[in-house]
Structure 1
């Protein structure tokens, strides 16, 4: 069994590699990808409180991340200074929740490895991490199966979707909840930095030239699994011997020139 020590981390890397791009693609087509960045930082106060109360840190993180996202959206809707004002609200809430989490650590006399929060540790993955990620993947797939056409409409024409009577706020709330669950489930293994990268880069590549949202979702999941699984296998090679999380993040950055090239080709052919 010791010779297969890499099997659980590899399976987890593949699951997260498929999970994060699915949620990221949904957010990207609605121009709400920054929500993933906000949630990933807003989970820290919940993690700290859950540890202090001897509760499941994942549950605390989901509640905290969801609270941060809802607060930011509520304040953004009340802002009257345009898109720049919305970005200012989102950034301020992100910084506030992150600062609150850092302050709670010494105030509650708990120990939180901030480096693990940022970069995770795939090599220390436990079966519980895999189970949590699988549950998050099921949640994303159920949401897509239940509301796929609504999210297509919402991504193409949000004003038209609202005029047609779609429950826009409920759809956004469901996506926010699933995003928070995705971030928390993946963060314990790969950290905040990689979660954000896996939500963004594969989605950008997949959306270029995609004929439908369904096709983009499938492409993004395959690209994410390839980058995540391939990056993990490369990282554990004796000649490389690097931390998997940061290496996968760097590989995600390498996708950006490919996405840019695809967009230029499409623009030229159009």
Structure 2
């Protein structure tokens, strides 16, 4: 049963990150995912210090606020201070993440957060953190409900605003002409990234979760450029990465999240090689790979 919960939670995290990450990849702002996943740490700590609660909603609100703050600060440094965007991102995510580490060290007796778990995650502990009714009925791991709720939010956000997200992603100039506020949709996407990152912390941590945002969507982008197919194919790839990564970790007796990201990297380069040399491979194998990768 533990294997089922681990695979379910890992797959939910991969799907959530891929849905949001697809738009980050298409908008060429993938480093914002790195910035936000690090910047949300002080928000998590402050939310716990002010409320004394470790509830999922409190953590999400705290993380979302600092994630949006990081996005605003990046925009401020880039537009007002005239720093390059990569420098703006680097400055903000490092000092905000450092602030979170400092807060944890200062209030270590009050904040029940493991810095290593925040950095790398530990999905193996997911089945131990369960929800129980007052009568003692086991409802399953809390992470399942957290990620399931995030999946509903992300699906609703994308499906209800599919056209607006598509237009502001592919042609922001045209979007502005027809009255769509591109900056509003940018910050909404950054908020979704913040919430998704926090929901996935327990699985991959602040560092490795970036790969779940970027790699499945990037692999799908090698295979298709149609948005709807990108989203669906990316989610499938994310699930494959989660499942194969788990069994690789069991085989190697190593880190589960690390194995998942390793599989993601291998799958990306394998896909790129097959895509690049598909004509030669198809000639040797007599398989029409061009049709397989064609939209």
Q: Normalised by the size of structure 1, how large is the TM-score?
A: 0.89
Question: Structure 2 matches for 1:133-152, cutoff 5 A?
Answer: 133-152=147-166
1:119 matches 2:133: no
For structure 2, the residue ranges without an aligned partner over 5 or more in a row are 130-140, 281-289
Cα separation, 2, equivalents of 1:106 and 1:206: 40
Greater C-alpha radius of gyration: 2
Tell me, yes or no, if the aligned pair for 1:43 and 1:61 is still in contact at 8 Å. yes
Aligned to 1:241: 253
Cα separation, 2, equivalents of 1:240 and 1:157: 46
Aligned to 1:69: 71
> 1:71 offset after TM fit, Å?
2.0
Aligned to 2:233: 219
1:202 matches 2:222: no
Aligned to 1:40: 37
| Selected match of 1:25 from 22, 40, 48 | 22
Q: How many residues align?
A: 262
SS at match of 1:208: helix
For structure 1, the residue ranges without an aligned partner over 5 or more in a row are none
1:192 matches 2:206: yes
Q: 1:79 to 1:6 in 2, by over 3 A?
A: same
> 1:50 offset after TM fit, Å?
2.6
Q: 1:55 to 1:111 in 2, by over 3 A?
A: closer
1:166 matches 2:180: yes
What is the RMSD computed on CA atoms of the aligned residues? 2.3
Cα separation, 2, equivalents of 1:6 and 1:59: 30
Cα separation, 2, equivalents of 1:116 and 1:8: 19
Tell me, yes or no, if the aligned pair for 2:71 and 2:187 is still in contact at 8 Å. no
Tell me, yes or no, if the aligned pair for 1:21 and 1:224 is still in contact at 8 Å. yes
Q: 1:119 to 1:164 in 2, by over 3 A?
A: same
Tell me, yes or no, if the aligned pair for 1:62 and 1:180 is still in contact at 8 Å. yes
